[in-house]
A and B are shown apart, each in its own frame.
Chain A
Amino acid sequence: MNALNNGIKVSVRKGVVDMLPLSLAVLPWGILFGSIAVQRGFSWIEAQMFSAIIFGGAVQIVTVELIADNASLLTVLFTAFVISSRHFLYGLSLREKLSSKPLRWRLGLGFLLTDELFALSGHRRAFQGKLRLIYGLAAGGSFYLAWNLWTFIGIVAGASLPDLTELGLDFAIAATFIALVVPEIKTLPTLAAVITAAVFSLIFSLWEFELGLILAALLAMCAGFTVQNLRRAA
């Protein structure tokens, strides 16, 4: 029993610590969101509700502006759907690992399945066994609390704070993702996927193409898949 309790403690701590650079890196965006929402006339309860139940950085920042500009409900929902479409890929990728788990784990981890939690879910045995599920919950849950705290600070103090998004905290996201990707590049197909994603994400980003992220990822996956099949055939 003691050993199990100890294991749970270690898993929770590791989940929180692994997520920490990402939790801190989104501070400027959480504050920016809270601040924009209040300035655009939302009540503080509404602003906090965005982060508490929608829980998606880009979706929140874009839709709060659209709603304030009196865009039609259909426009708001469609835009949110386009930005959220990459979640389909995350769910599909984790389907084998999670679809057989009890409903409460699927609902909880599904709700917390942001870019950041997906990033920490790449391990071959991710979510297998109770401790790895707890690790995921701690990682995703700590990110949720951080995002809501940053939003709250933005709501309360946003107008009196400088714009922190130019501070370079987003480099922590890049560094964390580099730490997760580089050790995975062990085969030619993965290298092909990474190079393809790198090239197309830059092109689509310069075009300011809203679906660029998901399209670059899908092209990269095609590249990896094709190279692997060519090697098999050769």
Chain B
Amino acid sequence: MTILTILLLACITFGTRYLFLEGRLPVRMGSNLKLFLSYSGPAVLTAITMPILFVHKNQLDTALDNPYLWGALAAIAAAYKTANIYWTVGLGMLVFVGVSSQIL
């Protein structure tokens, strides 16, 4: 019974992922839809990122000792200057760990 439930759940996660990759599905990609979808990357990634940074224990955390705030500012600066994923993650993590362990 549990196995059957797991299989059905697998159908849901795979089905939702695969559906629109199927060419035979009749979806017309008009220019309006394409323009709309062109913002999906930044939109989704920002929507995942912001709660990680500022919602802790279901509370808005904008305190100045929030290490996520300083780590994010360092990461934004690094991303702006270098546009490089390794520099951005490296510098961001460094500042994040520094502030969380109260070294900085």
Q: Give A contacts to B, CB under 8 Å.
A: 18, 21, 42, 46, 49-50, 53-56, 59, 63, 67, 73, 76-77, 80-81, 84-96, 98-100, 106-107, 109-111, 113, 115, 118-119, 121-122, 168, 170-185, 189-190, 193-194, 196-198, 200-202, 205-206, 208, 212-213, 216-218, 220-225, 228
What total count of A-B pairs have CB within 8 Å? 254
Given contacts A182-B80, A220-B43, contact A202 B9 (CB under 8 A): no
Q: Which of B22, B23, B52, B59 has the most CB of A within 10 A?
A: B52
B79 to chain A, nearest CB (A): 4
Which chain A residues border B38 with CB–CB below 8 Å?
224
User: Are A205 and B44 in touch, CB under 8 angstroms?
Assistant: no
User: Are A185 and B12 in touch, CB under 8 angstroms?
Assistant: no
B71 to chain A, nearest CB (A): 5
User: Are A76 and B5 in touch, CB under 8 angstroms?
Assistant: yes
User: Are B13 and A80 in touch, CB under 8 angstroms?
Assistant: yes
A141 to chain B, nearest CB (A): 15
The B interface is mostly helix, strand or loop, or mixed, namely: helix
Given contacts A174-B52, A179-B75, contact A67 B5 (CB under 8 A): yes
A181 to B85, CA, bound (A): 10
Given contacts A67-B2, A106-B22, contact A119 B85 (CB under 8 A): no
The A interface is mostly helix, strand or loop, or mixed, namely: helix
Q: Is B7 an interface residue (CB 8 A)?
A: yes
A164 to B99, CA, bound (A): 19
Contacts A183-B83, A198-B47 aside, 5 further interface pairs with beta carbons under 8 A come to: A59-B13, A90-B44, A171-B93, A185-B42, A201-B51
Partner of B89, one of A110, A111, A176: A176
